[in-house]
Amino acid sequence: MSSEKKYWRSVEELDTNNPVIEQIHQNEFVDKLPTLYSGEHEFLSNQEAMEESATTRRDFLKYVGFTTAAAALAACEGPVHKAIPYVVLPEQIRPGIPDYYATTMADGFDFASVLVKTREGRPIRVENNREAAYRGCGNARVQASVLSMYDSLRAKNPQKGTENITWDTLDSAVVKALADAAAQEKQIVLLTGTLASPSTENLIKEFTEKYPTAKHVTYDAVSEEAAVLAFEKKYGIRALANYDFSKAQVIVSFAADFIADWQGGYEEEYAKGRIPTKEGRMSKHFQFESNMSLSGANADERVALKPALLKVALAKFYGYLTGKTVGGSLPERVEAAVKKAAEQVKKAGSKAVVVTGIQEVNAQSLVLEINEELLHSAAFDPAHPVYIRQGNAAALKQLLTDMNAGKVGVLIMNNVNPLYTLAASDALAFESGLAKVGTSVDFSLRADETALKATYLAAAPHYLESWGDVRMRIDYYSLMQPTIRPLFDTRQFQEALLKWSGKDANYYEYIKAFWKANVLAEGDAWEKAQHDGFYRKEVALLGEKPEALDTTAMIAALTAAPAEGFELTLYTKTGLGDGQQANNPWLQELPDPITRVSWDNYLTMSAADAKELGIKNWHVANGALDGDYAQIQVGDVSLKVPVLIQPGQAKGSVGLAFGYGRKAAMKKEMQIGVNAYAFYNNLNNVQPVASIKKAEGTHEYACIQLHNTLMGRGDIVKETSLEEFLTKDAHQWNKKPEVSLDHKEVKATSVTLWKEFDNSTGHFFNLSIDLNACTGCGACVIACHAENNVPVVGKSEVRRSRDMHWLRIDRYYSSEETFEGDNQKVEGISGLGASLSTFGEMETPSDNPQVVFQPVMCQQCNNAPCETVCPVGATSHGVQGQNHMAYNRCVGTRYCANNCPYKVRRFNWFLYSNNNEFDYHMNDDYGKMVLNPDVVVRSRGVMEKCSFCIQETQAVILRAKRENRQVKVGEFNDACACAAACGTGAMTFGDMNNPEDPIVELSKNDRMYHLLEHIGTRPNVFYQVKVRNND
């Protein structure tokens, strides 16, 4: 029966005599379609021309289809031989189906072989290339690099000063300047970051042959030159040693944060040796350091001491290994720890390895001698040196002198920003010298501090728009290929060198020819290398075993009188690294894994030192963290910096992160922090502090975790020792919660008021998280952002606890020296008064605490408390185990968030897209290009959370169905963004109904437990008990 009801859009429609309403009814489109084009296509907006045109509707649709396809097919810089309209669908492209390209990220600081996911010719996510033989897993910065390509403040064309120019104009000016410099015998200098590119190095060689006064200077913003010089001194090659921590049973580190950024990071290999087996296989890790680092947080035994004492500790360690008497003094507890570490290393022999981050050649050389001559370490691999750090401080110093002497006629810079990254005095010398250079050209992604002072800004493409090659290790080559045609009028540094050298070939042709002549073995195809993204080629570089070096002078230098007073340790944070991607809002909002603070850098200081200086941190009424400032002076430079009291910071030392304080080509919201490079004298990360005192003012932090300890709550993070794991029954160290049923103790999980779901048919998804393998690196957090269009909310909203991360990595400190000590303290509580006082004490972390990381996302509970309280049925349980969210049903009551015991639901307090109050990537057209079209962008008033990447798991199922096969083992793991991004293997996602899936075996492991298991939610996320290899 038809309804007689009438509906209207406004009250004006009730007036039947209104002429405006009648006109609206007659017009389907109130406004004219925005079809204004220039030139020959003006007919689209010309009504008369359209009416007179003989173009049929079918032809018109072909034209529209052609323009869409032309944009999508432009995935490579190489020549396009043909373009096919979508009305005749090309085989290579399927709308809605992603394409993947193997490429390489190499920005001079981060190097990784990756896969890039594109949708209709638009890169939207960077993933790990697990087939790569070396560095196939990217850190958080690598994962986030796709967003940096869509930065709306990138340089869009070449410029002279503030004036836009053409490339022809730039070419003419530079070629003339090069000729003039050569005629006047002035220097032509190519100043670049570490390229590690064999084809580029060959191209530079050819360029210097054409211009004999030309030379190449390599400058790394964050230097590893001490290690490079030590390796060169020992082995005759300017490179770094290679390590495989999976082969080490004992690891001793002196200030080397090898899990994070030390020599590129080695967390993947490290994690392989940290997962305990019943055969007793698990590495032992000692860490001696000043700042609390990721490596220190994951160590079995950590010792905090000042940088000056670190050198003495290394020398003493060598003495205990060799039986020699070494001078210098250490605190008693430190001396005992050094002796213990040496004894364990001697016992392990070749299965031990020693590393150091001390930026002195003597320290680096001594470690090479220990690994090569004393231990013959299996984890130490000098035969396959690494080329990812090539900075030359002496050459840079000479360049500054030559520039100020007027000896440099042309300076061509690529991927460097010296006016930001040099120490304050050197930056002033560079700026004054730059003014004396005849012609300077800066190839840069944006108009940064240096580009603004150069004669010409040469707009450079992003690595996802570029061709290139990289030789990260002597035997490992990788290719960089474009995944999209350049968004702007940009040109690669190499293309310019070819043109200015008078060569006709483009860089793609040059690389291909170079590889065929110098890299690929006979019979190996270029196409296969391009498809795989990498190529292995064994090279016998090292000949006879090098002679042992005399360590006497090394020991004497290391044990010289330690520095008095405070020392500053400069370091790189997991988020911003050296600061190249400071424009990236994902990385700015990524909480630091140790401090849990985003949108800031700060001076880390021990509680004891802060108390002496009268410096405090405190919580304000809304729970946010505030703190005092300090005025710190290093040499002649003084900065006012906020202070964060950091558990585990060595007394007498402070820390400050690089990468902040940038202003040029940055949105206002991201112009935050202070520039730590100002203190980076002589490219040494340790600097003596001239003075430090409390300063006026209060700083507001964006800290997302305000409770720092577990206070003995062992059901959140379960842990045990390796000895207990090997010798005791699992029920003793992984006790399951019990309840009373009919006066009998039964497992809590066996009792439920809920109707059971039948998960035995189809797919049933679970996620395993191994607390031993999780290092807290944050790559999973960024991958989740990219895959699921998670918005960035900014510092002020994070302070209000309104961050939108679907996945958080909780970090807990022990309030005693160990978590076991916490548990024993809780067990000893007797009475209410003792309970209140003891738990109050346990809220404060230890001065040198143990640390544990725990990733927490929606636990996809089978008995989900959120589902029962939703009044509109916006959240419900799925047959595959997920807890679903129907966004268009949600009315924002937030009952589900209140009822969630894991606090993993996120509420959209505002509209975060197309909103000038949140001027990040979702507020401009370029930034929106990174959005995943398979995931809706949520609106204001809607609750959201982890979905187990349901759009990807369904795509896997449909692909298998279309190909008439079963889902392969591992396909689901690669579909879930966090598990796919995890380089350490801490996260494993899979189908519990597939007996061959690794998730099934993990669910049966003795270490398996559920978070808050006693409340009976029966999650589909489970954890593996943390095992520590301590005595």
Whether pLDDT at 393 is above 90: yes
Give the number of other CB atoms < 10 A from CB of residue 48.
8
Q: Compute CA 248 distance to the chain's CA centroid, rounded to the nearest angstrom.
A: 26
Q: Which amino acid is at 312?
A: V
Tell me what percent of the residues of the chain surpass a pLDDT of 90. 71
Q: Does any domain span residue 760?
A: yes
| DSSP state at residue 28 | S
Residue 761 sits in the same domain as residue 784: yes
Q: Which of 637, 672, 703 is the last residue of a domain?
A: 703
The candidate with the shortest Cα–Cα distance to 285, out of 712, 277, 294, 812, is: 294
The candidate with the shortest Cα–Cα distance to 851, out of 1026, 1006, 591, 608, is: 1026
Give pLDDT, residue 369: 93
Residue 854 sits in the same domain as residue 731: yes
The candidate with the shortest Cα–Cα distance to 473, out of 400, 382, 549, 550, is: 382
| 364: CATH | 3.40.228.10
Q: Does any domain span residue 1000?
A: yes
Residue 83 sits in the same domain as residue 103: no
**pLDDT band at 612; cut points 50, 70, 90:** very high
Half-sphere exposure of 738 (CA within 13 A, CB side): 10
- Mean pLDDT calculated for residue range 846-855: 86
Torsion of CA 427, 430, 432, 434, to 10 degrees: -140
Residue 856 bridge partners (DSSP): 808
Q: Compute CA 185 distance to the chain's CA centroid, rounded to the nearest angstrom.
A: 45
Contact 458, 158 (CB under 8 A): yes
- Mean pLDDT calculated for residue range 265-278: 90
The residue behind tokens 């050389």 is: 365
Residue 979 sits in the same domain as residue 1013: yes
Residue 136 bridge partners (DSSP): none
The Cα–Cα gap between 776 and 787 comes to 20
Residue 400 structural domain: 159-218+392-422+447-458+489-501
The candidate with the shortest Cα–Cα distance to 211, out of 240, 243, 186, is: 186
Half-sphere exposure of 649 (CA within 13 A, CB side): 25
Reported as a single tens digit per residue, the pLDDT across 428-454 is 999 999 999 999 999 999 999 999 999
The enclosing H or E element of 766 equals strand 765-770
Residue 305 sits in the same domain as residue 320: yes
Tell me what percent of the residues of the chain surpass a pLDDT of 70. 87
- Please give the backbone phi and psi of residue 820, each rounded to the nearest 5 degrees, phi first: -65, -40
* Total structural domains within the chain: 6
The candidate with the shortest Cα–Cα distance to 648, out of 298, 337, 342, is: 298
- Mean pLDDT calculated for residue range 186-208: 95
Residue 340 sits in the same domain as residue 374: yes
Residue 879 sits in the same domain as residue 941: yes
The enclosing H or E element of 393 equals helix 393-404
**pLDDT band at 37; cut points 50, 70, 90:** very low
Q: Give the torsion sign (CA, 971, 972, 976, 979).
A: negative
Residue 819 sits in the same domain as residue 892: yes
As a whole number of Å, the CA-based R_g of the chain is: 30
Burial of 834 (0-12, 13-18, 19+ CB in 10 A): exposed
**pLDDT band at 866; cut points 50, 70, 90:** very high
Give the number of other CB atoms < 10 A from CB of residue 664.
17
Q: Does any domain span residue 478?
A: no
| 1011: CATH | 3.30.70.20
Reported as a single tens digit per residue, the pLDDT across 918-967 is 999 999 899 999 999 999 999 999 999 999 999 999 999 999 999 999 99
The candidate with the shortest Cα–Cα distance to 954, out of 1019, 884, 1001, is: 884
The Cα–Cα gap between 846 and 812 comes to 11
Between strands 1021-1024 and 765-770, the pairing is parallel
Q: Diameter of the chain by CA atoms?
A: 106
Residue 770 bridge partners (DSSP): 1024
DSSP string across 247-316: G-SEEEEES--TTTTGGG--HHHHHHTTS--TT----EEEEEESS--HHHHH-SEEEE--HHHHHHHHHH
Q: Does any domain span residue 406?
A: yes
- Mean pLDDT calculated for residue range 735-745: 84
Q: Is 164 helix (H, G, I), strand (E, B) or coil?
A: strand
Q: Which of 220-229, 328-337, 744-753 has the highest mean pLDDT?
A: 220-229
| 633: CATH | 2.40.40.20
Whether pLDDT at 73 is above 50: no
Which pair of tokens denotes residue 433? 């010298």
Q: Which amino acid is at 522?
A: E
Reported as a single tens digit per residue, the pLDDT across 669-703 is 899 999 999 999 999 999 999 999 999 999 999 99
The candidate with the shortest Cα–Cα distance to 296, out of 244, 257, 252, 335, is: 257
Torsion of CA 991, 993, 999, 1000, to 10 degrees: 180
Burial of 184 (0-12, 13-18, 19+ CB in 10 A): exposed
**pLDDT band at 63; cut points 50, 70, 90:** low
Residue 106 sits in the same domain as residue 46: no
Burial of 326 (0-12, 13-18, 19+ CB in 10 A): middle
Contact 102, 115 (CB under 8 A): yes
- Please give the backbone phi and psi of residue 211, each rounded to the nearest 5 degrees, phi first: -120, 95
The enclosing H or E element of 207 equals helix 198-210
**pLDDT band at 87; cut points 50, 70, 90:** low
Residue 106 sits in the same domain as residue 80: no
Which pair of tokens denotes residue 648? 């585990």
Q: Which of 386, 410, 438 is the last residue of a domain?
A: 386
Q: Does any domain span residue 433?
A: no
Q: Does any domain span residue 714?
A: no
Q: How far apart are the first and last CA of the chain?
A: 81
Residue 89 sits in the same domain as residue 107: no
Contact 973, 981 (CB under 8 A): no
Whether pLDDT at 75 is above 50: no
Residue 77 sits in the same domain as residue 134: no
Residue 991 bridge partners (DSSP): 765
Contact 577, 141 (CB under 8 A): yes
